[in-house]
Chains A and B, each alone.
Chain A
């Protein structure tokens, strides 16, 4: 089974919640945490581990065999990304950065062998054993590449191929289709937010996404003393979700964030909040079985 941690906007403490929950839940489940914030993956830094098990993500791109190509332009016409430009006489050329690797061009090309397979590395996935009893899978988009979707798909695939009872995904900020791809298949969506007007605005979007996807959604309010939690509650209820935890602003959390050691391992009051949240999640998952 799978659960997701997301947050609408960046910087709400989504990764902090994800890693601490993972550490705690790993005591009860054989757990894999997938960091699908492929544009800015940070869970390994917060966990203080070095990424391991690197594998390249190769993306298809067409390579034209001009001795066979009949310059019919079909490939260029079908390319939704406009990644293929043609000269006046119809000779196709690829602009690699625009290519999404979808293979539509290859499918329509009427001449066998005119389009050959070439690949480029658009990023990497990693599988790292953490000292906390769970495995971390990380997707990392290469700088200069535009599309995070293929990386999210590949990293999630790699995570799913591991042996686990509970797969936890940590998504990127935002509510675009890469976030829905990451969340897809979850039994529970945990949205991390802040009780500020900006946080509330963005929470509404992630709640909307959760609702569209038909997911059970919980909200965790981070830095809960810096704003009006009641407002978060209102909006949460409007979407049929519930606020399940409040984490006050804490220097301890900041310190743990900076030092790469999860706070649930420390003997501080904040650790208790994460332990209780983990328990709630475990109860929910267990009780639902």
Chain B
């Protein structure tokens, strides 16, 4: 089974919770973890991965380059680039800003001087694999700064993970998705059997998880909700009301617990670092419910 974990907003504890759930579920199932936050991957760190056993470069991005020798400075590319990624430097040359170019090649098509603009392959980042000290493998990625299309990296990660699942006869893939609702998240949720949403009881988190849920609905998947920092904001009932109205089962609530940031500083899942803390106890119950009601 493929389970995505998403939140819409960053910083609501998604990776900590994922790491903790993996820690419990590993005893019962043969798992693979995928860190699908290619722009800020953290799950590997949280699971104590220090070295990657395998690393692949991903050459997938494309960027335009302008040959200043042949360019006649007509400015057409500058006007037509849909993303305003062409600028004029101090010397009056037309230059592509590689940090914002989307690689669409419109500039190349409109340039009147053939061969002046070329679309070149660029490295978009790396994908890597490690075996965690808990025994299960993890796939992670790192987008190079300023590159487009982190979603493609995530798709590649999941393909690699699927291969490993076949080779190693694994049962479940747990995908820790990025913040937001864009290409990375769509690549994370697409193809999953279900999504576990994580939110905290604040207006911002509610707004973002609602948006993530729309992506889940788009893929017609079932969703579940974990409320993190559940006691943070007792007057705020809108999150639970929303889940109820949408028929999203709440599979557990994790109280705000200083043990969590402490465990993150130790680079350990909280359930390993502080097994008796209130958050860890709640996470243990959640893992049991996931085992019973979801993974079977």
Enumerate chain A interface residues (CB-CB to B < 8 A): 8-13, 15, 37, 39-40, 42, 45-46, 78, 80-81, 100-104, 107-108, 141, 143-150, 153, 172-181, 184, 196-198, 201-202, 205, 208-209, 212-213, 223, 226-227, 254, 257-258, 260
What is the bound-complex CA distance between A39 and B215, given in angstroms? 12
* Chain B residues with CB under 8 A of A148: 180, 182-183
Chain A nearest CB from B283 CB (Å) reads 18
5 closest A-B pairs by beta carbon, nearest first, are A11-B11, A10-B10, A174-B39, A39-B180, A143-B214
B181's nearest neighbour on chain A, judged by CB, is: A39
Number of A-B contacts (CB under 8 A): 186
Q: Which of B8, B106, B147 counts the most chain A CB atoms within 10 A?
A: B106
What is the bound-complex CA distance between A190 and B40, given in angstroms? 18
Interface positions, chain B 49-89, Cβ under 8 Å from A, are 62, 80, 82-84
B92 at the interface (CB under 8 A from A): no
* Chain B residues with CB under 8 A of A205: 39-40, 145
B294 at the interface (CB under 8 A from A): no
Interface size class of B (residues with CB under 8 A): 35 or more
Interface of A, secondary structure class, is: loop
CB pair A209–B146 under 8 Å, yes or no, is yes
What is the bound-complex CA distance between A37 and B39, given in angstroms? 14
* Chain B residues with CB under 8 A of A13: 11
CB pair B182–A147 under 8 Å, yes or no, is yes
What is the bound-complex CA distance between A145 and B183, given in angstroms? 8
* Chain B residues with CB under 8 A of A102: 82, 102, 104-106
CB pair B39–A80 under 8 Å, yes or no, is no
CB pair B84–A176 under 8 Å, yes or no, is no
B40's nearest neighbour on chain A, judged by CB, is: A9
CB pair B180–A146 under 8 Å, yes or no, is no
Residue from A45, A108, A174 in contact with B40 in the complex, judged by beta carbons closer than 8 Å: A174
CB pair B147–A196 under 8 Å, yes or no, is no
* Chain A residues with CB under 8 A of B101: 177
CB pair A227–B265 under 8 Å, yes or no, is yes
CB pair B208–A42 under 8 Å, yes or no, is yes
B151 at the interface (CB under 8 A from A): yes
CB pair B11–A12 under 8 Å, yes or no, is yes
What is the bound-complex CA distance between A67 and B82, given in angstroms? 29
Chain B nearest CB from A174 CB (Å) reads 3
Known contacts: A40-B9, A209-B146. The answer to whether A9 contacts B42 by CB under 8 A is yes
